[in-house]
Amino acid sequence: MPAEKSGGVAEAIPTRAPLIELRGVGKVYRTGKLEYAALRGVDLTIAEGDMVAVVGPSGSGKTTILNMVTGIDRPTEGEVEVGRLRIDTMHEDELAAWRGENVGIVFQFFQLLPTLTALENAVLPLDFAHRGSKRERMERARHNLDLVGLGDKLDHMPAELSGGEQQRVAIARALATDPKLVVGDEPTGNLDTQTAAEMLDVLERLNERGTTILYVTHDRDLAARAHRTVTIRDGLVVAG
């Protein structure tokens, strides 16, 4: 029921603009004469500022959807639009630049460089983008590490951090360029239940600041923390 103003006049509830739109997206992988349809005509819209979990059995197409949204892979058919841009038609150099500015990716296995400190890992995307001065980049990385609760471990090497702390560094690194979208591919898959829940706390806080969050998980309890759950089966969206 729409909300009402004090004078009894109905006030429309504002609708958020779509950030991600997949239209008729199919993806076929080919190995020699063999073909495997990972996605089969997926239609999916995700609004700005939403927090969405993608669930489904292994091999259902969950990670392939993330790869479409981030431009890591391209569809065999259909259209992928993120932030009103058709990323499926971009050249590779355009796509890399777009991804660096607009998307933060958190992986299951952290993928931190073992010879760099937490601070040096967190500043890497800014160094690659040559954004700001060295001092400004370091200040931004410190801010992000503080945001994820690691402001006191800037000089620790990955081997000196717990799994949950390493994943926090990975999240701080994903936030380096202040992206509109943070994507996680089983970001809690290598963590115990309590630490995984703490990671979701971090993602929720980011979402409250306006960042759109999209993550794949096998854990139904963690999926329930999202505003919306999208279920994938056999390359199709079957719920959500």
Residue 226 within a domain: yes
Residue 41 within a domain: no
Encode the chain (240 residues) as per-residue pLDDT tens digits.
444 444 444 444 446 889 999 999 999 999 888 999 999 999 999 999 999 999 999 889 999 999 999 999 999 999 999 999 999 999 999 999 899 889 999 987 888 999 999 999 999 988 887 888 899 999 999 999 998 889 999 999 999 999 989 989 999 999 998 899 999 998 888 888 888 888 889 899 999 999 999 999 988 888 999 999 999 999 999 987
- pTM (predicted TM-score): 0.85
**Which residue segment(s) compose the domain that 101 sits in?**
48-74+92-239
Residue 136 within a domain: yes
Residue 175 within a domain: yes
Residue 86 within a domain: no
Q: How far is 166 from 106, CA to CA, in rounded Å? A: 11
Distances (CA, A) of 87 to 51, 91, 128, 174: 21, 9, 21, 19
Number of domains observed in the structure of the chain: 1
User: Which residues is 31 bridged to in the sheet?
Assistant: 34
Query: Please, how many CA atoms are within 13 Å of residue 162, restricted to the half-sphere of its CB?
Result: 10
Taking Cα atoms as reference points, which of 180, 190, 240, 239 lies closest to residue 219? 190
Residue 65 within a domain: yes
User: Which residues is 29 bridged to in the sheet?
Assistant: 36
Inter-residue contact 171 to 198 (CB < 8 Å): no
Residue 230 within a domain: yes
